[in-house]
Structure 1
Amino acid sequence: MKQLTTLDDWLAYCEHLHPVGIDMGLTRISAVAKRMGLAFDCPIITVAGTNGKGSTCAMLEAILLQAGYRTGVFTSPHLVHFEERCRVRGDIVSAPDLIANFELVERARTQNGEDISLTYFEFTTLAILQLLASAKLDVVVLEVGLGGRLDAVNMLDADCAVITSIDLDHMEYLGPDRESIGREKAGIMRAGKPVIVSDPVPPQSVVDHAAAVGADLWRFGTDFNFSGDKQQWGWAGRGRRYAGLAYPALRGANQLVNASGVLAALTALRERLPVTAQAVRNGLSMVELPGRFQIVPGQPTLVLDVAHNPHSVAALAENLDAMGFYPCTHAVFGAMADKDLAPMLARVGPLIDKWYFTDLPTPRAASAADLQAKWTAANTRPDATAGTYKSPEAALQAAVKAATPADRIVVFGSFYTVGGILKDGVPRLSAPHLAP
């Protein structure tokens, strides 16, 4: 084995350790975790769901930091740099800190010559969890990678589980419908522990599983709820109320549902992790998460959103609609080949005047030409135009060139699409003004 010195070396090594990229199951990762003696002595909040996981983790972290707690957060995937996946006390961890923990995992994985094969996600998850376990934290927030029941994160018992939304995505691993997908996500529940279900209409499988394992089910609309007007919103649930809250700094109508689940989780854990109303207010007003309906001021306006399935694209379309009038909306779009593209393109299609389809730097991506062909087959707007580009940056450059300062450009479809735009920092656009 060649000397692994940089984080990129380690990540490349992890990519080729296991014969397949995704191999659901907890046997291998649990065996290595046992060799490592991996254990946490603080509360664990585990977050699953089709959409809204990252936003939920960011809001939990922001409020708990404002309440003075030492927080650890593990999320995936990253937008630009792998290190984004792990934050300690609000700060992204360093590559050297990660490398030290990759070395610990490798030592345990190959102990006594009895090698245990791990996927990229399992290996990197163990390294990040070991880093968090040794960081003397008060609370850890973990985002499930895929599903729940068989996800690497689920080898740890959550003190509180949050299920944000259940919709159709990753069906080749999780099942063909909401009921089967719900069953997989429900696997993060534990007996006697709270589970917050933010989805307003959860599949019956989620409700049934909570009863079967004896989890304390908090249902949106029954155990907690929110109300709001244009200026402010309020929350109520199980003996706790918050009134006159400012809207979360993360924009979009869907974020109130996510914030409601966050307040339910904090209420469920209030004896172990008390938070003040002021911490809630400050945390929600300061929370940041790139690529979630992120509006970058400029001329034209730039909107960045990692929406990558029909459910999240529907939320993006609603949010775009609520922004008001723009003479022309340009869309930079790149996506994975296994996504249900037809409803995504159909839902946002009426709002988009010019499409810029892009290749993405991963074998899983659909080619720009494939995307354009799918769009052409279903397009109902004779005035809409489309072109193909080799990268998100090239597509954005073309959009800026074609745009007037009063237009808007929306970048969406995948973490890779948004990450490609953010890799040199947040772009501030200035389109050439049209000659008078």
Structure 2
Amino acid sequence: MTRTLAAWLVYQEQVNVRSIELGLDRVRAVWQRMGAPALARRVITVGGTNGKGSTVALLEAMLQAADLRVGCYTSPHLLRYNERVRIDGHDADDAALIASFERIEVARGEIPLTYFEFGTLAALDLFARAELDVAVLEVGLGGRLDAVNIIDADVAVVTTVDLDHMDWLGADRDQIGREKAGIARAGRPVIVGELDPPHGLLDALTAAKARIQRAGVDFLVERQSDSWHWRHRDGLLLSLPNPALAAPVQHANAAAAIAALHALCGMDALIPAQDFSASVTAGLLAARVPARLQLLGGDPALIVDVGHNPQAARALAEWLDAQPAARVHAVYGALADKDVGGIVAALGDRIGHWHLAGLEHDTPRGLTAAALAEQLAQVLPQARFDVYPDVAAALRAARTIARPGERVLAFGSFFVAAAVLAERAG
């Protein structure tokens, strides 16, 4: 009997008891059994701590503006699993994913796969059947041992490197940077989107003999009041509108995406030179990605963001500082492996009232609201807060307490963002 998509996902969570099992041998072996076909004319792999999803969305929009057929693989999803695999701007449908999972199941035989590895192989399989010009792959965790790294990228992007997933990737930025450098290939371009990358990243990229292009060195961002310039050391200068995506950090993500396209077009004239600027401009204005400082309207205003580590919290703080002054109510939930203290410290007294939501019913990794409250009190003893059993209850309370002209900021996890978006959709 054919499984539904939901049944397949339950099966994948049960067939391998480990939700994370880094390493390429198993997933590469299954991919080879499936014939290891080419995914597309060109492949871009995007890694980094923060900014991956936005960079993928920007690349997709710019490439589509150039009338190219694009496949994008991202994770995790917010509301529907199908969001993870997009072909030509459309989420993969249930039937396509089910057919791919069936092919993977036949090919894997006795080889165990994780939930993420099933999904990665499905994306690769569907891309290989879609006659794509470009496939854009987002790294799930780290880089060197992430399942997407069985594919050799023509261009790699490392957006940022900061402290996250430290149990898996290392105790400091240098160690984490070395892991993320693993997506680069010898002789091929790698875009470093951060102005101050760790030495570990740069050393590993140099050792890999990748062609490094760095923000602030090889390409520059020059911001104006209502526009910006992107400049490359080879003399290319683009005068551009601000990205439609909110947050100051989106200029850095956009700059890295443009650098990746520029490098790709240097290898293969996918976008004619005379069309490059227009495609970039159209992509900047068209790119959308849910729950990245997404403004949901209302009064008090509701903002949702997936930010879940200190670097993301600092970006939120920068955005709040640029807005007109208003009291902020935070709806916050977190997973157990996150640096709650670092996140809370980054936002500090910008938050007038914390509405702490337990996530233990959403995932075994979720923290209780009581655990969040304990860490909040240690870092910000004077902070005002209340605790709630879940995101829905915390959101209701925040929207009840907040007055017109104030803001409700929901963040801390994809689970938080998904709950808020589901409530709005319902």
- TM band (smaller chain): over 0.9
What is the CA distance between 1:347 and its match in structure 2? 1.6
Equivalent residue for 2:133, pick from 138, 159, 167:
138
- What secondary structure is seen at the aligned counterpart in 2 of 1:16? helix
Other-structure match for 2:244: 249
Other-structure match for 1:300: 300
Distance in 2, matches of 1:97 and 1:424, equals 28
Distance in 2, matches of 1:425 and 1:397, equals 12
Instruction: Summarize deviations over 1:238-265 as a string: whole Å, max 9, x none.
Output: 4353443111011111111111111110
Asked if the contact 1:240/1:267 (under 8 Å) is kept, the reply is no
Equivalent residue for 1:150, pick from 138, 142, 145:
145
Other-structure match for 1:374: 375
Other-structure match for 1:430: none
1:206 equivalenced with 2:224 (yes/no): no
In structure 2, give the amino acid aligned to 1:276: F
State the 4+ residue runs in structure 1 displaced beyond 3 angstroms: 424-427
Distance in 2, matches of 1:378 and 1:178, equals 23
Other-structure match for 1:70: 69
Other-structure match for 1:399: 398
In structure 2, give the amino acid aligned to 1:15: E
Other-structure match for 1:276: 276
Asked if the contact 1:232/1:247 (under 8 Å) is kept, the reply is yes
Distance in 1, matches of 2:420 and 2:212, equals 40
Equivalent residue for 2:157, pick from 154, 162, 183:
162
Cα distance change of structure 1 residues 378 and 202 upon mapping to structure 2, 3 Å threshold: closer
Alpha carbon RMSD of aligned pairs, Å? Answer: 1.3
What is the CA distance between 1:416 and its match in structure 2? 0.4
What is the CA distance between 1:83 and its match in structure 2? 0.7
What is the CA distance between 1:369 and its match in structure 2? 1.1
Asked if the contact 1:242/1:277 (under 8 Å) is kept, the reply is no
Other-structure match for 2:352: 353
What is the CA distance between 1:378 and its match in structure 2? 2.4
Equivalent residue for 2:115, pick from 112, 120, 124:
120
Aligned positions of 1:56-135 closer than 5 A: 56-110=55-109, 115-135=110-130
Instruction: Summarize deviations over 1:320-378 as a string: whole Å, max 9, x none.
Output: 1211111x211100000111111111221311111111122001011111101211232
Other-structure match for 1:218: 213
Distance in 1, matches of 2:374 and 2:129, equals 50
Q: Percent identity?
A: 46
In structure 1, give the amino acid aligned to 2:5: L
Asked if the contact 1:329/1:353 (under 8 Å) is kept, the reply is yes
What is the CA distance between 1:211 and its match in structure 2? 2.3
Asked if the contact 2:357/2:369 (under 8 Å) is kept, the reply is yes
What is the CA distance between 1:221 and its match in structure 2? 1.4
Unpaired stretches in structure 1, ≥5 consecutive residues? 428-436
Asked if the contact 1:4/1:10 (under 8 Å) is kept, the reply is no
1:28 equivalenced with 2:26 (yes/no): yes
1:310 equivalenced with 2:310 (yes/no): yes
In structure 1, give the amino acid aligned to 2:334: A
Question: TM-score when scaled to structure 2?
Answer: 0.95
Instruction: Summarize deviations over 1:185-214 as a string: whole Å, max 9, x none.
Output: 000010111000011111222222222222
Distance in 2, matches of 1:276 and 1:377, equals 51
Bigger shift: 194-203 or 270-279? Answer: 270-279
Bigger shift: 271-280 or 251-260? Answer: 271-280
Instruction: Summarize deviations over 1:140-181 as a string: whole Å, max 9, x none.
Output: 000000000000000000000000001111011111111110
Unpaired stretches in structure 2, ≥5 consecutive residues? none
In structure 2, give the amino acid aligned to 1:300: P
Question: TM-score when scaled to structure 1?
Answer: 0.93
Distance in 1, matches of 2:193 and 2:239, equals 21
Equivalent residue for 1:19, pick from 6, 17, 20:
17
Instruction: Summarize deviations over 1:2-55 as a string: whole Å, max 9, x none.
Output: x45211100110011123211110000001001111322420000000000000
Cα distance change of structure 1 residues 279 and 391 upon mapping to structure 2, 3 Å threshold: same
Equivalent residue for 2:182, pick from 156, 172, 187:
187
Asked if the contact 1:198/1:257 (under 8 Å) is kept, the reply is yes
Distance in 2, matches of 1:161 and 1:335, equals 30
Distance in 1, matches of 2:358 and 2:93, equals 30
What is the CA distance between 1:220 and its match in structure 2? 1.3
Distance in 1, matches of 2:235 and 2:16, equals 48
1:289 equivalenced with 2:289 (yes/no): yes
Distance in 2, matches of 1:378 and 1:200, equals 29
What is the CA distance between 1:314 and its match in structure 2? 0.6
Aligned pair count reads: 418
Asked if the contact 2:304/2:409 (under 8 Å) is kept, the reply is yes
In structure 2, give the amino acid aligned to 1:370: A
Other-structure match for 1:329: 328
1:233 equivalenced with 2:235 (yes/no): no
What is the CA distance between 1:276 and its match in structure 2? 2.1
Other-structure match for 1:176: 171
Asked if the contact 2:238/2:277 (under 8 Å) is kept, the reply is no
- What secondary structure is seen at the aligned counterpart in 2 of 1:355? strand
- What secondary structure is seen at the aligned counterpart in 1 of 2:265? coil
